[in-house]
Chains A and B, each alone.
Chain A
Amino acid sequence: MLLSMEFDIKAGDFVLAGEASSKIKDALKKLGVKPEILKKVAIISYEAEMNIVIHSVGGVLKAIISKDKIEIIAEDRGPGIENIELAMMEGYSTAPEEIRNLGFGAGMGLPNMKKYSDHFEIESQKGTGTRVYMVVFNK
């Protein structure tokens, strides 16, 4: 059995930001997922959501929950990542000044997503968008 959730994420909306990952967390708590699994998913889904808010022109955050694993998929539209290797480095950020002033865009998003997921894939096309696929095994 699968439980899928999908959320539209608006770009630049810092008021609503975090709501989708909050709902995913809430579902995991209702499902009785173990605390250590919950912690990992909480961080990766929040970071993925924030990345869409900060860096894209909008996108979707999906969660597919099954007995064995939790998949988090973040797909956004434009502008894409020019250099993925660089983007994966801790502290590297392309976030503009005003977003850094809000306490976001410290360049830890992608590295954290990789660190806290058991499986991590990223594809990006300059000008088209970015897709991040993450798995946390539920064991």
Chain B
Amino acid sequence: MPFNLHSIMLDREKCRGCTNCIKKCPTEAIRVRSSKARIIDQRCIDCGECIRTCPYHAKYAVTNSLDDIKKYEYKVALPAPSFYAQFETDDINKLLHALLEIGFDDIFEVAKAAEIVTEFTKEFISKKRDKRPIISSACPAVVRLIQTKFPDLIDNILPLASPMEVAAHLAKKRINRQKGIEIDRIGAFFISPCAAKMTYVNLPLGFERSYVDGVIAIKDIYGLVRSKLKSMNDVEPISISSGKGIGWAASGGESLALGIDEYVNVDGIHNVIKVLEEIENGRLNNIVYFEGLACSGGCVGGPLTVENPYVAKNRIKKWSSKLADKAQILEENTRKIVNDLGIKMEDLLFRKELEANPVLELDSDIEEAMKKYERVNEILKILPGLDCGACGSPTCKTLAEDIVRGLANDTDCIFILRENIKELANKMVELSNKLPPSLERDEE
């Protein structure tokens, strides 16, 4: 991956060079060098696990500021379903109006786009019966995880645009039609729980370009929205999302909306890895759909959210059941949008094939890679196997690989260094006992 496209950054001042983040990174993308963590760009999947783990809050996600929206003539907010779960309110419309009050001109609910994606996913599933399971492409961190660690599962990924992308696409189309504003003068901003979405905008998956112009962290506008909410009374209803779309905020919501029984939903990047391993083994062939979300709890557990994910999950559940009696009207709304804007499943299909990210390869030549693999195993036999992380690599195995790749030395291991020092010290003692011949005395 090219440089500067990641959204996760390190605050060097705050970083103490501890090993918490290197241990939790699912793609072994972090090393500690000169007492500072260093992210290997090519390996990072922007899951945000390091943001969550860092005890010194030295990791952060670069997102757009609210000021950035001013560059555009017409500004549309795309609130993530998880945004609804951040606030204690009796009316979603108040939340959407609060977004209008902080500077946006228009709204397109990503929850509504999620409902549209759900419909097209159903269509896709009914057409493609041979691929099992189909893996959701909604979580960009999971898609990148597959590109990096599970290249053999790329074919299983649902090649449909994510709800955020669909929301931006449809919002621009609608605004252009209704108001005659040119597409490039409309700024579409995702109100995001997640850092990986920012990376997605810089480097889209399955498309050359994203319709989204920027990503604003929920936490950055949380206070502002909250203060606007306080003074908000009866507002004109503008929300058209149903519980199905809003449900996408929490793990399992996407599968539930599909209305199929044969699905598996997993949240938390390390749990996702375990289940992907099983899919790789051919163990889940009877499962139709796999929903994997990098964050624990789903998007409500995103690193850019504010509310406790369990509280947030409960709110999502409440909104879903509260809107259940309006389900029919809201579903008609979905169809109306699709018909009015003339959107077909084909319009949302990936235009660019997803490629495997070969960073795990030891060498591009297989014979060379085999030699290196054997060397890794030889080095591993010498290393203590404590996975202490003091060398700056997450495990002894990663250190061995780093050594073979020429990125580290065996003396980076403090145990090997200690052994070497001990040997050296013994040698010094031995040498210090030796005297030059002029001083040597014959023992009588």
A residues within 8 Å of B by Cβ? 1, 3, 18, 21-22, 25, 27, 29-33, 35-36, 38-39, 42-43, 46-47, 65, 67, 103, 112, 138
Cβ 8 A contact of A3, one of B152, B363, B373: B373
> Across the interface, do A1 and B367 meet the contact criterion of CB distance under 8 Å?
yes
Instruction: Annotate B357-377 by CB proximity to A: 1 below 8 A, 0 otherwise.
Output: 010111110110111011010
Residue pairs across A and B with Cβ atoms less than 8 A apart, 14 shown, are A3-B373, A18-B281, A22-B277, A30-B360, A30-B361, A31-B362, A31-B366, A31-B369, A32-B363, A33-B366, A36-B152, A67-B370, A103-B283, A112-B282
Chain A residues near B361: list those with CB within 8 A: 29-32
Say yes or no: A29 contacts B282, CB within 8 Å: no
Give the CA-CA distance A36 to B283 in the complex, in Å: 17
CB contact under 8 A between A43 and B362, given known A1-B370, A3-B374, A67-B367: no
B356 contacts partner chain A, Cβ-Cβ < 8 Å: yes
Does B91 sit within 8 A of A, measured CB to CB? no
Check B367 against A30 for contact (C-beta < 8 Å).
no
State the CA gap A21–B278 with chains docked (Å). 11
Q: Inside 8 A of B197's CB, which chain A residues have their CB?
A: none
> Majority SS of interface residues in chain B?
helix
Residues in A with CB closer than 8 Å to B149 are 29
Given the interface pairs A27-B373, A38-B151, the reply to whether A32 lies near B282 with Cβ below 8 Å is: no
Q: Does B280 contact A (CB under 8 A)?
A: yes
Say whether A42 contacts B370, CB under 8 Å: no
Given contacts A29-B149, A35-B151, A35-B356, contact A47 B282 (CB under 8 A): yes
User: In the assembled complex, how far is the CB of residue B361 from the closest CB belonging to chain A, in whole angstroms?
Assistant: 4
Q: How far is the CA of A67 from the CA of B363 in the complex (A)?
A: 13
A22 to chain B, nearest CB (A): 7
Closest to B362 in A: A30
For A42, the chain B residues whose CB sits under 8 A away are 152, 280-282
- List the B side residues contacting A32 at CB < 8 Å: 358, 361-364, 366, 369
Return chain B residues, CB-CB under 8 Å to A3.
370, 373-374
B152 touches A38 (CB 8 A): yes
Residues of B within 8 A of A65 (CB): 370
Q: Is the CB of B366 within 8 A of A43?
A: no
Instruction: Tell me the bound Cα distance from A50 to B152 in angstroms.
Output: 21
Given A31-B361, A36-B152: A67 and B281 interface contact (C-beta under 8 Å): no
CB closest chain-A residue, reference B372: A30
A-facing residues in B147-195 (Cβ within 8 Å): 149, 151-152, 154-155
Known: A18-B277, A30-B361. 19 other contacts (CB 8 A): A1-B367, A1-B370, A18-B281, A27-B373, A29-B151, A29-B361, A30-B360, A30-B362, A30-B373, A31-B361, A31-B370, A31-B373, A32-B369, A38-B151, A38-B152, A42-B282, A43-B282, A46-B282, A67-B366
| Complex CA–CA separation, A112 to B282 (angstroms) | 9
Residues of B within 8 Å of A31, CB to CB, are: 361-362, 366, 369-370, 373
Question: How far does the Cβ of A112 sit from chain B's closest Cβ, in whole Å?
Answer: 7
- Complex contacts, A22 vs chain B, CB 8 Å: 277
Listed in ascending order, the chain B residues whose CB lies under 8 Å from chain A are 149, 151-152, 154-155, 277, 280-283, 356, 358, 360-364, 366-367, 369-371, 373-374, 376, 401
- B115 to nearest A CB, angstroms? 33
By CB atoms of chain A within 10 A, which of B364, B370, B401 has the most?
B370
Q: How far is the CB of B143 from chain A (nearest CB, A)?
A: 15
Determine the distance from Cα of A46 to Cα of B280 in the docked complex, in whole angstroms. Answer: 9
The CA of A39 and the CA of B371, in the complex, are separated in Å by 23
Q: How far is B151's CA from A103's CA once the two chains are assembled, in angstroms?
A: 26
Min CB–CB distance B50 → chain A (angstroms): 22
Pick the residue among A25, A29, A35 that contacts B154 (CB under 8 A). Answer: A35
Nearest opposing residue in chain B for A29, CB measure: B360
The reply to whether A39 and B152 contact each other, CB–CB distance below 8 Å, is yes
Given the known interface contacts A31-B361, A32-B358, A32-B361, the answer about A1 and B371 at a Cβ–Cβ threshold of 8 Å is: yes
Q: How far is the CB of A42 from chain B (nearest CB, A)?
A: 5
A46 touches B370 (CB 8 A): no
Q: Which of chain B's residues have a CB closer than 8 A to the CB of A21?
A: 281
Residue in B closest to A46 when the chains form the complex, CB atoms: B281
A35 CB contacts on chain B under 8 angstroms: 151-152, 154-155, 356
Chain A residue at minimum C-beta to C-beta distance from B363? A32
Looking at the assembled complex, report how far the CB atom of B41 sits from the nearest CB atom of chain A, in whole angstroms: 20
Point out the residues of chain B lying under 8 angstroms from A38, CB to CB: 151-152
**Distance in Å: Cβ of A108 to nearest Cβ of chain B:** 9
Bound together, the chains give a CA A27 to CA B397 distance in angstroms of 12
A47 to B280: give the CA distance in the assembly, Å: 12
- In the bound assembly, the distance between CA atoms of A67 and B152 in angstroms comes to 19
Smallest Cβ distance from B262 to chain A, in angstroms?
14
Q: How far is the CB of B230 from chain A (nearest CB, A)?
A: 52
> In whole angstroms, how far apart are the Cα atoms of A27 and B363 in the complex?
12
Closest-CB distance, A63 to chain B (whole angstroms): 12
Residues of B within 8 A of A112 (CB): 282
Q: Which residues of A contact B364 (CB under 8 A)?
A: 32
Would you give the shortest CB distance from B40 to chain A, in whole angstroms?
A: 16
Contact (A30, B151) CB under 8 Å given A3-B374, A42-B282, A46-B281: no
Nearest residue, chain B, Cβ from A3: B370
Q: How far is the CB of B426 from chain A (nearest CB, A)?
A: 38
Smallest beta-carbon distance B29→chain A, Å: 15
By a CB distance below 8 angstroms, the chain B residues around A36 are 152
